[in-house]
Amino acid sequence: MTRRLDLAMLLLLTFSTGMVDAIGYLGFDKVFTGNMTGNVVILGMGLAGADGVPVLRPALALVFFMVGAALSGRILGDIGENWHHRTTAIFSGVAVGCAVLSVYVAIVPDPEIGLAGTIFTSALSALMGAQAAAARKMKIADVTTVVVTSTIVGLAADSSLAGGDNVRWIRRALAVVLILIGALAGAATLMLNQWIGIALVAVMIAAAAVIGHLGEKKRRTRAEAAAAVASNA
């Protein structure tokens, strides 16, 4: 049950990443803050001199994503695959960071322009890197929260059409669909205001942190009760 809950929370974060990337790409000069593969491609085109393709922001997004992932990995340490209080701490920190960025976007004039936009995309990339590192520690197959390319490969390569047994096809399909719907939702929020989408992302990540923490707390309580019964037998 706990692993299924963990999977559900990571799928929720996958949806929120779709929102984040849509907001970054459409609202902040073609920058992905979660999908670093996209940034590598954009950076390559920009370095080749393609018209209207940025270089600085994608490059900084890559750097800050790695910094966030490294710091998250350092904090998490060797915690194993189960949800841990450090996992809660990382996701909570990401939620708070997104909330702060939503306020930043709301109060800064033209937040997508110049240095203000670069600060936003760099900071958000660091937060997404931290989230991705925490999700990776949990080792939920096919759900990284930030990319679905390998998930799509698995979905196709293990399908009946390919002679496979459709292993984990439901979660794989959900990951792809959720990041797609998340991108749609993120694009829609830009029609209202930039800060709204980021605020919604903060709420979703906070919800994942709380629900995941409560699920792990319940698991530990059951394990301790079972151990007590076994010791008294």
Class of domain 2-232: mainly alpha
CA distances from 55 to 49, 65, 128, 199, 209 (A): 9, 16, 20, 27, 34
Domain regions of the chain by residue span: 2-232
**Cα 74 from chain centroid (whole Å):** 18
Res. 1: pLDDT tops 70: no
pTM score, two decimals?
A: 0.92
**pLDDT tens track for 50-93:** 988 999 999 999 999 999 999 999 999 999 888 999 999 999 99
Residues 6+ apart with CB under 8 A from 120: 28, 101, 104, 105, 111, 112
Residue 218 has a pLDDT of 87
Find the radius of gyration of the CA atoms of the chain.
19
**pLDDT tens track for 81-98:** 889 999 999 999 999 999
Task: Report d(CA 73, CA 86) in Å as an integer.
Answer: 10
Q: Which of 17-26, 112-121, 147-156 has the lowest mean pLDDT?
A: 147-156
Q: Where are the beta strands (DSSP E) in the chain?
A: none
Q: Token pair of 159, please? A: 């399908």
- Mean pLDDT, the chain, rounded, equals 93
